[in-house]
């Protein structure tokens, strides 16, 4: 295991997401989400890597996006990307619509929705509940309450309901405030595997780029 | 001195359209708000203490040293490693693998175990790892000729030749000062709330300041080793004239594009300071005297600005010509008139080059520390670089924002190859940002998002093809490729000076303009471009050394 700074983590997450096929703006969202998870002492790279493995092998990344906004998110392809679904939720969540709920179908690594949902809950000063695989997770952006710790290992949820909690439905205590971390511990294998995706964003060296690209001279003996 | 009623009618800030052009940004000079001067003012006013904790360097020049800076709340220590680098391995490039000296800034005072750990990592720089206890990672190479001249002179009982010292200006050049979480170091966020770190790049500046003291001691040590009893001590005035060089390539250029909020705050601070000084109705005799004295000294510094770069040479020549004209103008200028600084500024703007205008902007701030220095506290930012998108906004609003923020970019013919001749990319070989020729090299697929203007116009075109009443959220569902641009536009909404208003991929782009702008905020002088994308500078030349801070001015040292 290696101890990384959160900026190193955010940078690797962004580049690996871009290298796996996300647009730069979506890769920024991946970076933001992974940073948030690590800062809140939750699993991060170990959830990102399986997602990137899937995205990388998908025929067309556009097929993993929700087909439309509304109360049902489902993808054109066989699964829904949690980052794309998180972005759609975050982009379209209407502060006035406190009754909002969205039903998602076949969403990969659903725990990656948490950073988006926590951000929405905090912005809208509400509590949002995610229900999937007969378990649930609630957050107001500060507290996180889960019915089971196994929630962070779910590969795919065939259905997932995202809804605003009813009045008095969820009660948080101090125990639900995750410890804040300023570092991210990642296994060497996972870091390297993310690095393989990040590597896709680097241009292969050529003689011309060596000569021109950086623009510096080779000799410093003056 | 400035009294309440001195400032009356408010002159407006210069417009972003005027300031945010690359040619203008590439003409910026250091000022009172430069990060180096912010640091030395703080070190003096808070009476920081300095201690050489260790100096274990052998007769071969190899070993380590520890220098601590002790502030009111915390101590920071430079851990320095000196190596024995053969000449053929000395490279100015960030991608080198060995250096004459390597450094880390330790948060506190390192134990022997810390030093042992750092000795196994810091000399390898990017190939090593540091921890949350380290705030920066850096390295420097000797200026070979000057180093040898100084060692040899001192060893033989002579002071080095002042002309040679002035010609180079430093004994060592850094090729990188990494901070903010790089290679395992502490993130900026971990220290951002400390009073001494609120301003930008303060730990990086402290690192370079301590490196300068170490380098002076190292050259003395080597002279003592060589000369034995014949060796003499380097004259304090000569030592003070030496700064630390820095060689900066393209790696720095994307920073000002990637941090619009921070960049905006830097420019706003400088522009607001200028607007306030221009608004001063009457200048006191002391303020006028100080301005005139510093003007004369700054002209002298410009005369000592050496560069072999043709474009910069012509810019410096034009600046010198302009300064002659300005000198004549000042002889007849009536400072007793109303709003003298505004009158002077407007004359310079009307008659002289951008280099001269920005030179005078910096000088105008000098007499007014009380008015200006507080703006330094507003130059940092606690805002994240990746903000959430407001997806409920209508596309028509985005369109209006695009037109107001990037109206200037709509006049560029983006279909023309020269408008998008370049592409920013990261090379597989050295993982450093580079600038390539889009139509000559296979790099377009690896392009970094560093052309906001081109991307903004593409977004505008795609928006124009759909119903403007649609929400951003539904548009981004079909166009995730525009997500970074939509975020940027929404982020820039309240950041009038956050964007460079120029084409950053055009065939005529001069990346050194971006480097110069950033380095001027650091406080660098004597910009010496070595190509259109690589520049050498001098930092902390003439600044008091740590032990001199109590007795020497810690602010106006930049004008010796």
pTM of the model: 0.94
| Mean pLDDT over each residue of chain A, to the nearest integer | 89
- Helices B310-332 and B340-351 cross at an angle (nearest 10°) of 140
C-beta atoms surrounding B2 within 10 Å: 18
Mean pLDDT score, A91-98: 68
**Chain B contact for A216 (CB, 8 A cutoff):** yes
**Chain A contact for B458 (CB, 8 A cutoff):** no
Mean pLDDT score, B394-423: 95
Q: Enumerate the domain spans of chain A.
A: 2-178+187-193
Rounded Cα gap, residues B431 and B421, in angstroms: 22
Model confidence pLDDT, tens digit, residues B85-106: 777 666 666 556 789 999 999 9
Cα of A173 to nearest chain B Cα, Å: 27
Supply B383's token pair: 């805002």
Nearest to B341 by CA among B359, B360, B327: B360
Query: In B150-249, which ranges are E strands?
Result: 170-178, 243-248
Model confidence pLDDT, tens digit, residues B396-406: 999 999 999 99
Q: How confident is the model at residue A59 (pLDDT cuts 50, 70, 90)?
A: confident
What pLDDT score does A209 carry?
66
Q: Enumerate the domain spans of chain B.
A: 4-27+260-362, 35-249+537-558
- Comparing CB atoms, the residue among B187, B391, B533 nearest residue A7 is B187
List CB contacts (< 8 A) between B477 and chain A.
Answer: 65-66, 68-69, 88
DSSP B102-117: EEEEEES---HHHHHH
Kind and range of the H or E run holding A104: strand A101-108
Are the CB atoms for B172 and A222 separated by under 8 Å?
no
Nearest to B177 by CA among B213, B217, B134, B218: B134
What pLDDT score does B530 carry?
80
Choice between B416 and B84, residue whose per-residue pLDDT is larger: B416
In whole angstroms, how far apart are CA B211 and each of A127, B173, B457? 52, 10, 45
**Chain A contact for B470 (CB, 8 A cutoff):** no
- Identify the bridge partners of residue B139 per DSSP, sorted by sequence position: B102, B176
Cβ <8 Å between B187 and A91: no
Mean pLDDT score, A188-216: 82
Residue among A214, A218, A222 with most chain B CBs within 10 A, to mutate: A214
Tell me the ipTM for this assembly: 0.94
DSSP A121-172: HHHHT--EEEEETTEEEEESSS-EEES-GGGGG-SEEEEEEEEEPPTTT---
Model confidence pLDDT, tens digit, residues B526-549: 888 888 888 889 999 999 999 999
Nearest to B77 by CA among B38, B122, B36: B122
Supply B102's token pair: 């390597």
What pLDDT score does B496 carry?
95
Kind and range of the H or E run holding A72: strand A72-73
Task: Name the H helices within B46-195.
Answer: 112-119, 144-155, 162-168, 188-191
Model confidence pLDDT, tens digit, residues A115-146: 999 999 998 899 999 999 989 999 999 999 99
**Chain B contact for A122 (CB, 8 A cutoff):** no
What pLDDT score does B312 carry?
81
Rounded Cα gap, residues B32 and B373, in angstroms: 7
Are the CB atoms for A40 and B167 separated by under 8 Å?
no
Interface of A with B in 9-38 (CB under 8 A): 22-26, 28-29, 31-32
Nearest to B25 by CA among B481, B519, B514: B514
What pLDDT score does B4 carry?
46
Residues 6+ apart with CB under 8 A from B549: B40, B43, B44, B48, B50
| Helix, strand, coil fractions of chain B, as percent rounded to 5 | 50, 15, 35
Residue among B384, B450, B473 with most chain A CBs within 10 A, to mutate: B473
* DSSP type of residue B204: H
Using the predicted structure, report yes or no on whether residue A99 has a pLDDT greater than 80.
no
Mean pLDDT score, B500-528: 93
* DSSP type of residue B281: S
**Chain B contact for A1 (CB, 8 A cutoff):** no
Which pairing describes strands B170-178 and B243-248: parallel, antiparallel, or unpaired?
Answer: parallel
Model confidence pLDDT, tens digit, residues B102-111: 999 999 999 9
How many Å separate Cα B256 from the centre of its chain? 11
Model confidence pLDDT, tens digit, residues A155-180: 899 999 999 999 899 999 999 999 99
CB pairs under 8 A between A and B: 193
Supply B323's token pair: 């300064």
């Amino acid at each position: 295991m290696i101890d990384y700074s959160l900026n190193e983590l955010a940078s690797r997450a962004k580049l690996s997401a871009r290298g796996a096929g996300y647009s730069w703006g979506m890769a920024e969202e991946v970076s933001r989400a992974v940073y948030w998870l690590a800062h809140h002492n939750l699993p991060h790279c170990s959830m990102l890597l399986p997602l990137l493995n899937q995205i990388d092998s998908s025929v067309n990344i556009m097929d993993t996006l929700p087909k439309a906004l509304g109360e049902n998110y489902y993808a054109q392809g066989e699964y829904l990307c949690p980052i794309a679904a998180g972005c759609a939720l975050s982009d379209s969540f209407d502060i006035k619509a406190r009754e909002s709920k969205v039903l998602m179908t076949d969403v990969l690594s659903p725990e990656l929705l948490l950073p988006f949902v926590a951000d929405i809950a905090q912005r809208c000063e509400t509590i949002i509940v995610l229900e999937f695989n007969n378990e649930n997770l609630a957050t107001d952006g500060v507290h996180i309450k889960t019915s089971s710790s196994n929630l962070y290992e779910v590969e795919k949820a065939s259905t997932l309901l995202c809804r605003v909690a009813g009045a008095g439905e969820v009660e948080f205590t101090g125990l639900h405030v995750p410890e804040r971390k300023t570092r991210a511990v990642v296994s060497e294998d996972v870091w390297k595997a993310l690095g393989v995706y990040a590597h896709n964003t680097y241009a292969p060296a050529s003689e011309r780029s060596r000569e021109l690209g950086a623009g510096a001279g080779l000799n410093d003996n003056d | 001195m400035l009294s309440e009623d001195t400032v009356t009618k408010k002159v407006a800030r210069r417009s972003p359209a005027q300031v945010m052009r690359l040619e203008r940004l590439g003409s910026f000079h250091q000022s009172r708000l430069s990060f180096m001067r912010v640091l030395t003012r703080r070190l003096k006013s808070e009476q920081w203490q300095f201690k050489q904790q260790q100096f274990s360097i052998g007769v071969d020049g190899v070993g380590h040293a520890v220098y601590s800076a002790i502030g009111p709340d915390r101590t920071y220590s430079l851990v320095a490693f000196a190596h024995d680098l053969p000449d053929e391995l000395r490279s100015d490039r960030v991608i080198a693998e060995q250096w004459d000296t390597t450094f880390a800034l330790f948060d506190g005072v390192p134990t022997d175990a810390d030093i042992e750990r750092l000795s196994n990592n810091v000399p390898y720089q990017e190939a090593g790892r540091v921890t949350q206890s380290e705030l920066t990672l850096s390295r420097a190479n000797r200026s070979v000729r000057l180093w040898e001249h100084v060692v040899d002179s001192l060893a033989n009982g002579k002071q080095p030749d002042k002309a040679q010292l002035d010609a180079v200006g430093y004994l060592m050049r850094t090729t990188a000062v990494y901070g903010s979480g790089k290679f395992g170091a502490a993130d900026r966020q971990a220290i951002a709330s400390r009073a001494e770190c609120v301003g930008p790049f303060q730990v990086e500046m402290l690192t370079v300041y301590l490196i300068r003291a170490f380098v002076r001691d190292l050259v003395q040590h080597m002279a003592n080793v060589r000369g034995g009893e014949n060796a003499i001590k380097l004259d304090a005035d000569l030592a003070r004239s030496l700064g630390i060089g820095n060689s900066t390539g393209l790696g720095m250029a994307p920073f000002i594009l990637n941090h619009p909020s921070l960049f905006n705050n830097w420019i706003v601070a400088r522009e607001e300071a200028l607007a306030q000084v221009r608004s001063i109705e009457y200048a006191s005799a002391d303020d006028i005297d100080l301005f005139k004295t510093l003007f004369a000294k700054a002209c002298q510094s410009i005369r000592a600005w050496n560069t072999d770069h043709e474009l910069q040479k012509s810019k410096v020549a034009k600046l010198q010509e302009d300064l002659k004209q300005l000198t004549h103008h000042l002889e007849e200028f009536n400072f007793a008139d109303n709003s003298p600084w505004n009158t002077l500024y407007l004359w310079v703007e009307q008659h002289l080059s951008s280099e001269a205008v920005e030179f005078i902007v910096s000088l105008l701030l000098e007499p007014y520390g009380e008015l200006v220095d507080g703006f330094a506290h507003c130059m940092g930012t606690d805002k994240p670089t990746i903000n959430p998108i407001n997806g409920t906004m209508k596309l028509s609003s985005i369109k209006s924002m695009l037109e107001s923020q990037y109206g200037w970019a709509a006049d560029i013919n983006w279909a023309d190859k020269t408008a998008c001749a370049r592409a920013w990319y990261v090379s597989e070989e050295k993982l450093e940002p580079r600038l390539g020729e889009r139509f000559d090299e296979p790099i377009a697929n690896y392009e970094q998002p560093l052309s906001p203007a081109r991307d903004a116009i593409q977004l505008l075109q795609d928006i124009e093809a759909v119903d403007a009443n649609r929400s951003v959220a539904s548009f981004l569902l079909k166009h995730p490729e525009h997500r970074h641009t939509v975020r940027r536009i929404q982020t820039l909404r309240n950041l009038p000076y956050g964007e460079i208003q120029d084409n950053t991929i055009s065939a005529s782009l001069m990346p050194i303009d971006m480097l110069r702008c950033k380095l001027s905020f650091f406080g660098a002088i004597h910009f010496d471009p070595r190509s259109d994308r690589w520049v050498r500078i001098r930092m902390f030349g003439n600044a008091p050394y740590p032990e001199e801070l109590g007795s020497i001015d810690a602010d106006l040292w930049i004008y010796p």
